[in-house]
Amino acid sequence: MNRPPHTVQKPTKKLSTSQKAALIAIPAVLLIALILILISVLNRPEVQAPGESSNGSGTGGGTPTQSDVPLVQENSHVLDDAGEGAPVLVEFLDFECEACGAVYPVIEEIRKQYDGQITYVPRYFITNHANSMNAAIAVEAASQQGKFEEMYQKLFESQPEWAEQQTSQADKIRNYAEELGLDMAAFDAAVADPATQARVEEDHNAGMALGVRGTPTFFLNGELLQPQSVTDITDALDAAIAESKE
């Protein structure tokens, strides 16, 4: 698997009891997250084929085979880079997915607790939610101004305001970009540029080739991760970190 470029790596350490307690100390959020994940697994939404996005435009193109697709590509958005050899956690997500929104604060806490020890890479995956593509395009457009993480966080934190609507929420999503202080002329141009949607579809096609059929879907060091609790995630990360040091 292709890995992000090497950076200086912080000393490895397992989470202390208090740190793990901090992760577990969000039971209400976790319970909701696990319930929604279960619902999403049992009722996977139909994924949208590239070229059939909610905004009506498409780039076409075939879906690559699994053997052709690395989990992390050169143009992947790496939010946390712990350097060469560090465990790599990849999440295929949909910004409108309720389960992804519920898991988001858990992942953010894990990112803090494992800062410098793991590499985290979120990737776009489009489902049949009405504004799934609109949201992903907006995040990709923001990334062109160095604001991927800010827009990624904004859309999840404001998800109840715009998600699960049957009409386009592109204008509301655009307002979030404006709140973040983006150059709106450049943002609008990026949103309208077919290359921006093509970049989103590239992730989606990769996910399809890798067997992703719903969100959120996690891979740790190239292996599908199916956690049932926060402890499952932290135990898997601890084991992967220890293995990387052998």
Q: Which pLDDT score is estimated for 59?
A: 37
User: Between these two residues, 35 and 137, which has the higher pLDDT value?
Assistant: 137
Whole-angstrom CA distances from 206 to 37, 40, 132, 203, 209 are 21, 20, 17, 5, 5
CB 63 within 8 A of CB 210: no
- Nearest CA to 38 among 89, 99, 96, 105? 99
145-190 pLDDT tens trace: 999 999 999 999 999 999 999 999 999 999 999 999 999 999 999 9
The overall pTM is greater than 0.85: no
- Strand-pairing partners, residue 218, are 91, 225
- Please, which residues have CB within 8 angstroms of residue 28's CB and are 6 or more apart in sequence? none
194-214 pLDDT tens trace: 999 999 999 999 999 999 999
- Residue 91 buriedness (CB in 10 A; 0-12 / 13-18 / 19+): buried
Which backbone phi and psi does 174 adopt, to 5 degrees? -60, -35
Domain boundaries, the chain: 18-227
* Cα 5 versus chain centre, distance: 19
103-117 pLDDT tens trace: 999 999 999 999 999
Q: Which pLDDT score is estimated for 100?
A: 96
The DSSP string of 88-102 is EEEEEE-TT-HHHHH
CATH of 18-227, one of 3.90.1150.10, 3.40.50.880, 3.30.70.1060, 3.40.30.10: 3.40.30.10
What letter represents residue 176's amino acid? Y
